[in-house]
Amino acid sequence: MKFAVLVFPGSNCDIDCYKAVEDTIGEPVDYVWHTATDLSAYDCILVPGGFSYGDYLRCGAISRFAPVMAEVAKAADQGKYVLGICNGFQILTEAGLLPGTLRRNMSLKFRCHDTVLRVENNGNPFTTQYAAGEEITIPIAHGEGNYYCDEATHAQLKKNNQIIFKYVNNPNGSIDDIAGISNERGNVVGMMPHPERAVDSLLGSDDGKKMFTSILKAWRDRHESASVR
């Protein structure tokens, strides 16, 4: 399984995502520049955190116009796996690949600390290794992580099981304590907490590992069933 970690000017969790793939599942992974126009070689695209384009104008608002984003949309359309973390989540909502938007934290301050998340949907390709309702410790580090969507969208999210993670103690004012969601099809996931920072107990938690093992398993299952056919 081949991973791409996108690099926008100002991405700063790109290295962490790269290391997390290496350390948790050891699958091949490349940094892919924001100007790239071909993602066909990759099975999973990680859109990392950071301050792409300095978060100037609005988080993710400039990145969505980067050439690589058209390729991300194409990959999502082909059913490939896409995971946006923190700034990556913001970029995916700006690009229209995920519904809703991220507003400033209710405290109006940047917040960095561990949070406890509840796995709301363990049927998603990124979460199959978790138990339903499992509580996991994953850190946050953001100033604009307050998820918002209108009521109709919220109803849709609930109906389609698109809410993947919820905060046990809401740190930012997100609607319905939402920490992470998927698209309707389930192959594109966005979340504010950083699973790539939770893959080593020496650094505080390794509860994020299962996201990487889950996606590898999902890909293998799909790949094997495809080759059997």
Partner 1 sequence: MSQQVSAKEPNAEQIAQQQIYKQMGVSDSEYELICGFLGRKPNYTEIGVFSVMWSEHCAYKNSKPLLRRFPTSGPRVLMGPGEGAGIVDIGDNQAVVFKIESHNHPSAVEPYQGAATGVGGIIRDIFSMGARPVALLNSLRFGKLENERVKYLFEHVVSGIAGYGNCIGIPTVGGEVVFDDSYDGNPLVNAMCVGLIDHDKIQRGVAKGVGNPVFYVGPPTGRDGIHGATFASEELTEESEAKRTAVQVGDPFMEKLVMEACLELIDTGIVLGIQDMGAAGLTCSSAEMASKAGNGLELYLDQVPQREEGMSAYEMMLSESQERMLFVVEPKDEAQAMEIFERWGVICSKVGKVTDDGRLKLFHHGEIVGDMPVTALVDECPIYDKPSAVPAYYEQNAAVDTLRYEEVTDLGGALEKVLASPSVSSKAWVYDQYDYMVRTSTAVRPGSDAAVVTIRGTRKGLAMTTDCNGRFVYLDPEVGGKIAVSEAARNIVCSGAEPLAITDNLNFGSPEKPEIFWQMERSVDGMAEACRVLDAPVIGGNVSLYNENAKGAIYPTPVVGMVGLVHDTDHITTQGFKAEGDVILLLGETRGELGGSEFQATVHGVTEGRPPQLDLVVEKKLLDTVLGAIQHGLVASAHDLSEGGLAVALAESCISGGLGAIVEFDSTLRPDVALFSESQSRILLSASAEQAEKLQDFIVSRGVPVQRIGRVAGENLVIHVGGASALNRPVEGLKRVWEDTIPCLMK
Whether 196 is a known active-site residue: answer: yes
Judged by beta carbon, residue 51 or residue 148, the one nearer partner 1 is 51
| Shortest Å distance, C-beta 31 to partner 1 | 12
Judged by CB, which is closer to partner 1: 110, or 223? 110
> Can you list the positions of beta strands (E) in 36-110?
44-47, 81-85, 101-103
Least CB distance to partner 1 at residue 73 (A) = 24
- Token pair belonging to 176: 């319905």
DSSP 8-state code for residue 11: B
Report the interface residues with partner 1, using CB under 8 A.
9-10, 12-13, 15-16, 19-20, 49-51, 53-56, 109-113, 139, 141, 143, 194, 196-197, 199-200, 202-204
Catalytic residue at 113?
no
Nearer to partner 1, 43 or 196 (CB): 196
Residue entry with tokens 């913001």 = 90
Q: Which is nearer to partner 1, 10 or 173 (CB)?
A: 10
Cα dihedral value 149, 151, 152, 153, nearest 10 = 20
Tell the smallest beta-carbon distance from residue 105 to partner 1 (Å): 10
194 in active site: yes
Q: Supply the minimum distance, in Å, between the C-beta of residue 79 and partner 1.
A: 30
Catalytic residue chosen out of the listed positions 86, 94, 142, 149: 86
Q: Helices 209-228 & 14-24, crossing angle to 10 degrees?
A: 60
Give the CA distances from residue 116 to residues 54, 169, 174, 190, 210, in Å, rounded to whole numbers and listed in that order. Answer: 28, 7, 14, 17, 15
Residues designated catalytic: 86, 194, 196
